Amino acid sequence: MAVTDRRPEEASEEDLATMTLWEHLTELRNRILVCVIAVIVMTIIAWFFYNDAIRFMRGPYCHYVALHPHKQIAGCKLVTNGPLDGFLVRLKVSLYGGIALSTPVIFWELWAFITPGLRKSEKRYAVPFVSSAVVLFAMGVTTSILVFPKALSWLINVSGNGVVPLFQPQRYFTLYVAMCVIFGAIFMYPLIVVGLELTGVVPSLRWRKWRRPAIVILCVVAAVATPSSDPFSFLAMAIPMVVLYELSIVIGRVLHK
């Protein structure tokens, strides 16, 4: 490939098509650097909204305690065991918030890096696919937030009458964020199904023939992927996955035609 005289950060789309491997790596480094800076800046901003964030995430626990006063020990407050635990929890929650707030920048940098390598026909599908990924991930996170109170209530009740909750913030918030991330990631799997249909690797007819084993596999994935292992989270993940499987077959078939 020919080498251009421009630096990667100043190159146009035509120039990016003729860049050397080293120049592509330099371009990738610059994109990653921008993403890291965005995460750091957003993490600092999220640091100042830490109390609002934990108040929101602690809401399901406080709601449970209000309905079950016999389970109270310290109200709905979370308990730390060491002097550094509070700082580390705040740092971790702020980092989670910073990553979430910087996702538009991350998606933009990813899009700017891969766009010059796509054909015009591929660029036509790229924007809908990226937009769909954002929407599906948001759907998964929203589902997780809605089902978390039921999941938490089940987890506490299943421990028995003689056991009362006394949660550590690090474990509580880790479970909360893990459920949001896993739900969001799992909900994006229809993009793979549609992509395989559009490329002709797996036609929609074959997906329809695989419906029964696919439903079983999706239920197994939902059972394994839910970090809380409660029936409410399982159903909240399994049912939408089956529905999205059917929708992805229809959408892929329509787009293929």
36 pLDDT more than 50: yes
Cα of first residue to Cα of last residue in the chain, in angstroms, is 36
pLDDT confidence of residue 42: 93
Most confident of 2-6, 156-160, 213-217: 213-217
What is the average pLDDT across 177-189?
87
The mean of the pLDDT values for the chain is 81
234 pLDDT more than 90: no
145 pLDDT more than 50: yes
pLDDT confidence of residue 118: 66
pLDDT confidence of residue 79: 84
d(CA 213, CA 170): 38
List pLDDT tens digits, range 81-91: 888 888 998 99
pLDDT confidence of residue 133: 82
What is the average pLDDT across 182-196?
85
5 pLDDT more than 50: no
What is the average pLDDT across 129-135?
81
d(CA 174, CA 148): 13
Nearest to residue 193, comparing CAs of 162, 219, 214?
214
DSSP 26: H
Cβ proximity of 241 and 221 under 8 Å: yes
pLDDT confidence of residue 4: 46
pLDDT confidence of residue 43: 94
134 pLDDT more than 60: yes
16 pLDDT more than 60: no
Q: What is the pTM of this model?
A: 0.76
Check residues 13 and 250 and name the one with the higher pLDDT: 250
pLDDT confidence of residue 142: 92
d(CA 243, CA 231): 18
List pLDDT tens digits, range 160-180: 777 777 888 888 988 898 888
Check residues 159 and 73 and name the one with the higher pLDDT: 159
37 pLDDT more than 90: yes
Check residues 40 and 251 and name the one with the higher pLDDT: 40
pLDDT band at 44 (very low <50, low <70, confident <90, very high): very high
d(CA 33, CA 13): 20
Nearest to residue 66, comparing CAs of 179, 187, 153, 158?
153
